[in-house]
Amino acid sequence: MAKMRKKADLPQKQCAHCGRPFAWRKKWARDWDNVRYCSDACRAGKVPAQGE
């Protein structure tokens, strides 16, 4: 069984829309290089961008 990792040890990126940092998720394992947004709402542009 694999060892548990702390969330702080996982890779992080900044959301292209809101600018907030978000951590790696297992469902993004195959596509981590192409992930740009922290959520579906940011991808759709429904959340106001930070600083607006």
Position 52 pLDDT exceeds 60: no
Mean pLDDT of the chain: 85
Please indicate, yes or no, whether the overall pTM of this predicted structure exceeds 0.95: no
Q: Which two tokens stand for residue 13?
A: 């990126």
Higher pLDDT, 23 or 49: 23
Question: If 0-12 CB within 10 Å is exposed, 13-18 middle and 19+ buried, where does residue 13 land?
Answer: middle
Helix (H) or strand (E) holding 44: helix 40-44
Question: Which comes out higher in pLDDT, residue 47 or 20?
Answer: 20
Question: In whole angstroms, what is the distance from residue 49 CA to residue 16 CA?
Answer: 9
23-48 residue pLDDT tens: 999 899 899 999 999 999 999 987 67
The total of other beta-carbon atoms located within 10 Å of residue 33's CB is 8
State how far the Cα of 47 lies from the Cα of 40, in Å rounded to an integer: 10
* pLDDT at residue 35 in the model: 94
